[in-house]
Every structure is written in C-alpha cells, then in structure tokens.
Structure 1
Amino acid sequence: MLFAPGDARLTLIAALRHDSDAIIIELGGELDVDSAPTLREHLGRVWELSGVPALVLDLTDLVFCDTAGLGELVRAFKRSQARGVRLVLTGVAGPMRRVLELTGLREVFEIRPTTADAMSGLLRPF
C-alpha cells in the first residue's frame, strides 16, 4: 500500500471525455488492486483509437493509490510512449505527489497542476 485509504472504501470512478487536442480521463476514489483493471479497460479504449495526440489523467479526486494503481500509471506511460501519445498527469497532490517523488516517477511523468494547464501546455512541445 502506498498510502492509507480514508475510513470509507471507495471504488474507482473514471470519467472519459474527448477534447479536440486530448482524451481526458478524470479519476476519483481509489486506484488499487481491485480497481486497476477498470483504468486498464478505459485506457484500452483510448489505445484502440487512432490519431490521439495526448492523454490527460486528472488525479484531482483520487484519494488512494496502491502499488497496483501506480503500476497501471507506469503501464499507461509506457504505452503512451510506444504510441507517440503525450501523457500528462494533473491534480497530483498530497500523498500521490510524495509517492511519485519517492519513487523517482515525478521526473518521468509530465505533470501539470490542472487539466486547463495541461490543455494549454499541449500547444507547446514537450
């Protein structure tokens, strides 16, 4: 476990939307061994699309992430690199920020404060 969940067990909530410049997946609740397949399923739909320039994963409402969840984020990074899709994480704060820093993944992922920042940053090369 990377950090402890709150008192109430939440499931992963994922909302997918398509913008002209990116696909945005907003994650909420818990990204753990039980819910990581849900994220993998959403990402599978993204990888099936052609011409996706960027993928934004908004973690603002994510309250918990274990190693399985972190592994799914790394898998998304690797798949995005292999497909030439720019991956941006947004809403990374608190324990999630700390975990990314401790694991060295903070330097791997492109991270922006908000989805709006990510969308404006997509106009610039990474």
Structure 2
Amino acid sequence: MLFAPGDARLTLIAALRHDSDAIIIQVGGEFDIASVPTWREHLGRVWELSGVPALVLDFTDLVFCDTAGLGELVRAFKRSQARGTRLVLTGVDGPMRRILDLTGLREIFEIRPTTADAMSVL
C-alpha cells in the first residue's frame, strides 16, 4: 500500500487493467480530497482511449470515501453516460455502500458483487 511521505495516512491506490471487454480500475485506500488527483490521472487514461465498451470500478479494498470521492464518482458516471461507456461498480461494501445508501445514489449505478460477476454480464 502507498503512504504519503512522513504521514501515516493511507492514500488512494488504483490499479488500471485492460481486458478485451472492459477497463478495470481497482480502487483501494482512501478516496478523498487528497486522492482526487490520482483518481483523475487514472480516469484520464481511460477517457483518452476510444471505444471503451465498459469501465469496471472495483472498490473491494476501499477503506474511506468522502464527498470529494463521491463527487468524482458521479462525474465518472456522467462522463461514461456521455461517451456510451457502461459503468459497473463492484466491491461496494463498507464505506462505499454506506455513502451511496446515505445519498440515495446507489440507485443510479449498476452494481455487481465482484469484478468476475461484472465481466460475466458484459
């Protein structure tokens, strides 16, 4: 896991993987105002590609999400809609589930239990 220099605070960890049917981003650590630049960097790589049929965001290893993280997730949803890219969330338990439930946003996202489940329906 990644730590900021001289800081015991966990930062966002994102791993980008390309599959023939989707791009998968595994998100772990903290999804907050401090990690938004890392998030935007990873998503920027996705949006530079043309013809991405689906984007799977795996939140299995997420430990925290604040409103800045949630805002970035909503922006990703809007961008995927505009591009015609299917967006699927996986590993939505713990902090991500709680924030989506509290805000009522759970209903707008396609959610699957695991990345394998998401890939099976793409």
Give % identity: 88
Matched residue type, 2:68: A
Q: Structure 2 regions of 5+ residues with no counterpart?
A: 1-7
User: Aligned-pair RMSD on alpha carbons?
Assistant: 0.8
Aligned length: 115
Deviation at 1:36, TM superposition (A): 1.1
**Whole-angstrom distance in 2 between the partners of 1:113 and 1:20:** 20
| Structure-to-structure mapping, 1:1-126, within 5 angstroms | 9-122=9-122
Q: Using the alignment, how far apart are the partners of 1:45 and 1:94 within structure 2?
A: 27
Match of 1:3 in 2: none
Report the Cα offset of residue 95 of structure 1.
Answer: 2.8
- Residue 56 of structure 1 aligns to a residue whose secondary structure is strand
Q: Per-residue displacement from partner, 1:35-67 (whole Å, max 9, x unpaired)?
A: 011111111110110110000000000100110
Distance apart, 1:99 and its partner CA: 1.3
Q: List structure 1 segments (4+ residues) > 4 angstroms apart after TM superposition.
A: none
Give the C-alpha shift of residue 98 in structure 1. Answer: 1.8
1:99 is paired with a residue whose SS is helix
TM-score (normalizing by structure 2): 0.91
Contact 2:55 2:85 in 1 (8 A): yes
For structure 1, the 5+ residue unaligned runs are 1-7
In structure 1, C-alpha distance between the alignment counterparts of 2:78 and 2:10, rounded to whole Å: 27
Structure 2 equivalent of residue 4 of structure 1: none
